[in-house]
Structure 1
Amino acid sequence: MQTRAIILAAGKGTRMKSKKAKVLHELCGMPMIQHVINNVKEAGFDEVHAIIGPDSDEVGDYLGDSVKKTVQEERLGTAHAVNQLSDLLADEEGDTLVICGDTPLISSHTIQNLLDFHHERKSLATILSAEADVPTGYGRIVRNYDGSVKRIVEEKDATSEIRELHEISTGTFIFDNQTLFKALDKVTDDNAQNEYYLPDAVNILFREHKLIDAYETMEFEETLGINDRVALSQAESLLREQINIRHMQNGVTLIDPKNTYIDAGVEIGMDTIIYPGAVLGGSTIIGENVTITSSSHITDSEIEDDAVIKQSVITGSKVGRGTNVGPFAQLRPGSKLGEEVKIGNFVEVKKSELENEAKVSHLSYIGDAHIGARANIGCGAITVNYDGENKHKTEVGRDSFIGCNSNLIAPVKIGERSFIAAGSTVTDEVPEDSLAIARNRQTTKEGYYKNQK
């Protein structure tokens, strides 16, 4: 049977106090609408639609071709939003999930359970409900003796007895598709806001004595809708806890999970140890038996097995097996380190490749360079890659030694097994097996101080 999901993402989100569309605000490194899309797709839905607003070009651009997009030209309520798909879907068979784009914590597991329950009960509509400790502000679920739903009662219309109920409607529904669109045609805007609301479609089905059910999730926190920055921070905290628990269950050691920040798209191998204060973001992949110490920040990078990262910043780079980085180093985008490489304290590497066992131990800048295997770059050495207009490349051959405080003026090539004397400024190619000294001879004037007096 065909299943489809409709994600409501046309709201302005004025309470976010932001120029950015609400559904694009990030949660653990990913826009909240992307979490919803991922969860729906993981639950196995065949087709995904998103309803976006008329001024939501940024949302449309972000979504691209990942889902089918429909614009709600006028924001006239949730029922009106879903009904924008009437011409396309009204006659289709199957089931349709309607879910809000600001509910990123509703897991694929919960969505799948909701769909399975809907099929088992053969309902025409199934509400995702939850037990709220404090149900204030939510519509209450009133059930019949057989467990089906008798009605949803909004708090303002509830008697004192109904207000004692703690099962609430979360605003997520699954409908028989044709039944949904028939009900939407009967929804009116006869309310204070003059808008068309999706729960009114459910109430129409109640009045028509159609079978309506509610699937109660045991995870009330999953159903949190994000309307402001406070709710965003609460959701971030909940999701980070889930992410960290999943990694620990998969064999990763987090010394202090509450102070370890791992984005949703990060992969980590077993026996890796991560210390508090570490931030792992984007599409980062961490191998097995890696150590990442406090204050390290790694984004969109790959760290292979047995590497050690100490208090360093790594962005868009690759670190090979057994390589040591830091403390206080920075790998900028395009950096690629081989196996058993050493990048020491206060070293910056940008768009450069270092082959196996190369060493840059301290206080150096390596930019737009290729450093051969086992080459040793001394303290304070710099590849001078920028002439004020263009970037140029430096090549250092295998087993070469670059003395302390040397400047390699690119474009320049240092041959294999060559030595650059400390303090040299090298502008010409150095052949293999050579020693280059590029500095003025020392002049010493004895008695200089006394003569000045």
Structure 2
Amino acid sequence: MANATAIILAAGEGTRMKSNHAKVSHKILGKPMIRWVADAAIAGGCDRVVIVVGSHADEVRAIAEAAYAGATATVECVEQAERLGTGHAVKVALEATGISDGPVVVLNGDLPLVTGQTVAAFAESVSGGNAAATAFTIVPPDPFGYGRIVLAADGTIERNIEQKDCTPEQAATLTECNAGCYAFDGALLAAHIGEVGCDNAQGEYYLPDMLEILKSHGHAVRAFHCDDWREGLGVNSRAQLAQLTAIARDRINEQLMAAGVTFIDPAQAWIGPDCTIGRDTIVWPQTHLIGTCHVGQNCQLGPNTRLTNTSAGNDCVIDETVAIDAVLENGVDCGPRAYLRPGTHMLDNSKAGTHVEIKKSTIGRGSKVPHLSYIGDTTMGEGVNIGAGSITCNYDGVHKHKSVIGDNVFVGSDTMMVAPAEIGDGALVAAGSVITEPVPADALALGRARQTVIEDWAPVHFEKLRAQK
């Protein structure tokens, strides 16, 4: 929707969350709620997004600045220093930004299930002069707690009755509920927002009063009905946060299954909204994809795997693996119980096996770190085999040092490569070695202590021990 603006209300305390953080900073599938709403607004065509902050303003502002620096839409924060109600919040946003035309949608910052398609239709509902304002309405299975909308014969809103003001008959028969979000003709909103008063028990300025104000000026006010009632659900408690997380999980997993992904148990896989998975990939229970993750086709994910901001190509097996800010190319095999730390880059057909930790290292094509090893700050060529229990000793207590391992190197078990280590192509390092000097190509490196054997020593030794009892 061209020239549309979203105002997101995110200034509230969120006291029922019992938290030291802003309510809208709490995450659903690894993503802060405020970003779900802002992303929906941008996807819905809003070229300007204004987030009204108040409680924990610095925290919310930091989330927005980190996520939307360089975004195509303008995303900005405006502080409501005095929290005097939703009408006051919108007035603060208009005054600070100068918005005075085009559709303006006002969304709550704890509305993570609203979609871009719905936001676009919501903005469209006040374009072309069809209505001065629309109220976002839903029909939930249990309407208790919601304001009820009474429609006139021509489809305009006749009344908005709060739950506490409903008669028993109204509570039982009125099912169209006000979800608390509104779309306005921007010019009319700017012209009349100053008429919202605070003559109520709380002394606050309530945005819903704009509906009656616009009607009093002869403008049409209508309902915008959302067929999926879940899009109008907000979060006010930890229990509701868990409930909406489950809904978001199911919605994403259903979309992925429709696109050709297999889930062994969809209720036990948590895939973030900014993640993609290719067809014929199998997702096992207790798999988590957080942040921005991209997984290719015909992969095995899990069980017990957590990927954060990680990409994997096709035909990968990622079993019981934690990977953060890592890149896995095609045919990579990880786990079980592998830990890929930031900066890990595994090339085609490489392997990180059982109890292997890799950090800020490139593992070459076909190279293997099969088990019980640590590789840090290392560039490894192709066709390398690292024996069990081997370590690149990259830290001297103050600085990190880099190691380079060439192509087709064989490193025996229990080898310590003290950085900066250099091992040339085709070299062989004997098991149990401590490597402190460069190893030339095709050489044998042997860094063991000399073995001493004293024959017939053991029986005498144990006899002495037994005599001491």
TM range (shorter): over 0.9
Q: Name the CA distance, whole Å, in 2 between partners of 1:88 and 1:379.
A: 62
Q: Does 1:236 align with 2:218?
A: no
Shift of 1:89: 6.3
Shift of 1:182: 3.2
CA 1:267–1:441 in structure 2 vs 1: closer, same or farther (change >3 Å)? Answer: same
Paired residue for 2:107? 99
Instruction: Spell out, residue by residue over 1:180-213, the C-alpha distance to the aligned partner (whole angstroms, 9 max, x if none).
Output: 2333222111111110000111122334442111
Amino acid corresponding to residue 353 of structure 2 in structure 1: G
- Superposed, 1:182-201 pairs within 5 Å as 182-201=191-210
Q: Any idea what SS the aligned residue of 1:141 has?
A: strand
Paired residue for 2:89? 81
Q: Name the CA distance, whole Å, in 1 between partners of 2:313 and 2:98.
A: 51
CA 1:61–1:90 in structure 2 vs 1: closer, same or farther (change >3 Å)? Answer: closer
CA 1:390–1:87 in structure 2 vs 1: closer, same or farther (change >3 Å)? Answer: closer
Paired residue for 2:4? 3
- Superposed, 1:176-325 pairs within 5 Å as 176-325=185-334
Instruction: Spell out, residue by residue over 1:49-93, the C-alpha distance to the aligned partner (whole angstroms, 9 max, x if none).
Output: 111116511212222255122111100000011111343567823
Q: Any idea what SS the aligned residue of 2:431 has?
A: coil
Shift of 1:173: 0.8
CA 1:340–1:176 in structure 2 vs 1: closer, same or farther (change >3 Å)? Answer: same
Shift of 1:33: 0.8
Q: Any idea what SS the aligned residue of 1:198 has?
A: coil
Q: Any idea what SS the aligned residue of 1:59 has?
A: helix
Q: Any idea what SS the aligned residue of 2:195 has?
A: coil
Paired residue for 2:448? 439
Q: Name the CA distance, whole Å, in 2 between partners of 1:29 and 1:346.
A: 26
In structure 2, which of residues 418, 441, 460 is the aligned counterpart of residue 451 of structure 1? Answer: 460
Amino acid corresponding to residue 13 of structure 1 in structure 2: G
Asked if 1 retains the 8 angstrom alpha-carbon contact of 2:143 and 2:177, the reply is: yes
Q: Name the CA distance, whole Å, in 2 between partners of 1:285 and 1:247.
A: 13
Q: Does 1:338 align with 2:339?
A: no
CA 1:90–1:390 in structure 2 vs 1: closer, same or farther (change >3 Å)? Answer: closer
CA 1:134–1:412 in structure 2 vs 1: closer, same or farther (change >3 Å)? Answer: closer
Q: Name the CA distance, whole Å, in 1 between partners of 2:131 and 2:192.
A: 15
Q: Name the CA distance, whole Å, in 2 between partners of 1:91 and 1:440.
A: 77
In structure 2, which of residues 68, 77, 86 is the aligned counterpart of residue 69 of structure 1? Answer: 77
Amino acid corresponding to residue 303 of structure 1 in structure 2: A
Q: Name the CA distance, whole Å, in 1 between partners of 2:126 and 2:438.
A: 74
Q: Any idea what SS the aligned residue of 1:450 has?
A: helix
In structure 1, which of residues 141, 147, 166 is the aligned counterpart of residue 149 of structure 2? Answer: 141
Shift of 1:341: 0.8
Q: Name the CA distance, whole Å, in 2 between partners of 1:167 and 1:78.
A: 22
Q: Name the CA distance, whole Å, in 2 between partners of 1:342 and 1:55.
A: 44
Amino acid corresponding to residue 182 of structure 1 in structure 2: A
RMSD of aligned Cα (Å): 1.7
Q: Does 1:402 align with 2:403?
A: no
Paired residue for 2:466? none
CA 1:418–1:49 in structure 2 vs 1: closer, same or farther (change >3 Å)? Answer: same
Amino acid corresponding to residue 358 of structure 1 in structure 2: S
Q: Any idea what SS the aligned residue of 2:127 has?
A: helix
CA 1:7–1:407 in structure 2 vs 1: closer, same or farther (change >3 Å)? Answer: same
CA 1:432–1:32 in structure 2 vs 1: closer, same or farther (change >3 Å)? Answer: same
Q: Name the CA distance, whole Å, in 2 between partners of 1:184 and 1:222.
A: 27
Amino acid corresponding to residue 281 of structure 2 in structure 1: T
Asked if 1 retains the 8 angstrom alpha-carbon contact of 2:7 and 2:93, the reply is: no
Q: Any idea what SS the aligned residue of 1:48 has?
A: strand
CA 1:155–1:441 in structure 2 vs 1: closer, same or farther (change >3 Å)? Answer: closer
Q: Any idea what SS the aligned residue of 1:185 has?
A: helix
Q: Name the CA distance, whole Å, in 2 between partners of 1:63 and 1:412.
A: 43
Q: Any idea what SS the aligned residue of 2:460 has?
A: helix
Asked if 1 retains the 8 angstrom alpha-carbon contact of 2:278 and 2:297, the reply is: yes
In structure 1, which of residues 113, 119, 138 is the aligned counterpart of residue 121 of structure 2? Answer: 113
Q: Name the CA distance, whole Å, in 2 between partners of 1:61 and 1:294.
A: 34
Unaligned 5+ residue runs, structure 1? none
CA 1:122–1:88 in structure 2 vs 1: closer, same or farther (change >3 Å)? Answer: farther
Q: Which moved more, 1:136-145 or 1:73-82?
A: 136-145
- Superposed, 1:49-60 pairs within 5 Å as 49-53=50-54, 55-60=56-61
In structure 1, which of residues 103, 117, 123 is the aligned counterpart of residue 131 of structure 2? Answer: 123
Q: Any idea what SS the aligned residue of 2:50 has?
A: strand
In structure 1, which of residues 380, 383, 391 is the aligned counterpart of residue 400 of structure 2? Answer: 391
Q: Any idea what SS the aligned residue of 2:126 has?
A: helix
Asked if 1 retains the 8 angstrom alpha-carbon contact of 2:126 and 2:185, the reply is: no
Q: Any idea what SS the aligned residue of 2:370 has?
A: strand
Q: Name the CA distance, whole Å, in 2 between partners of 1:68 and 1:359.
A: 48
Q: Name the CA distance, whole Å, in 1 between partners of 2:236 and 2:133.
A: 26
Amino acid corresponding to residue 73 of structure 1 in structure 2: A
Paired residue for 1:362? 371
Q: Any idea what SS the aligned residue of 1:360 has?
A: strand
Q: Name the CA distance, whole Å, in 2 between partners of 1:144 and 1:173.
A: 18
In structure 1, which of residues 412, 418, 422 is the aligned counterpart of residue 431 of structure 2? Answer: 422
CA 1:264–1:396 in structure 2 vs 1: closer, same or farther (change >3 Å)? Answer: same
Q: Given the two structures, how large is their TM-score scaled by the length of structure 1? A: 0.96
Q: Any idea what SS the aligned residue of 1:279 has?
A: strand
Q: Any idea what SS the aligned residue of 1:67 has?
A: strand
Amino acid corresponding to residue 220 of structure 2 in structure 1: L
Q: Any idea what SS the aligned residue of 1:298 has?
A: strand
Q: Which moved more, 1:112-121 or 1:50-59?
A: 112-121
Identical amino acids, percent of aligned pairs: 39
Shift of 1:154: 1.5
Asked if 2 retains the 8 angstrom alpha-carbon contact of 1:140 and 1:166, the reply is: yes
Instruction: Spell out, residue by residue over 1:383-404, the C-alpha distance to the aligned partner (whole angstroms, 9 max, x if none).
Output: 1111222111222111111111
Asked if 2 retains the 8 angstrom alpha-carbon contact of 1:118 and 1:125, the reply is: yes
Q: Name the CA distance, whole Å, in 2 between partners of 1:380 and 1:155.
A: 66
Asked if 2 retains the 8 angstrom alpha-carbon contact of 1:90 and 1:177, the reply is: no
Shift of 1:357: 0.7
Unaligned 5+ residue runs, structure 2? 464-469
Q: Name the CA distance, whole Å, in 2 between partners of 1:280 and 1:270.
A: 16
Amino acid corresponding to residue 394 of structure 2 in structure 1: N
Asked if 1 retains the 8 angstrom alpha-carbon contact of 2:86 and 2:207, the reply is: yes
Asked if 2 retains the 8 angstrom alpha-carbon contact of 1:90 and 1:178, the reply is: no
Q: Name the CA distance, whole Å, in 1 between partners of 2:82 and 2:114.
A: 27
Asked if 2 retains the 8 angstrom alpha-carbon contact of 1:54 and 1:71, the reply is: no
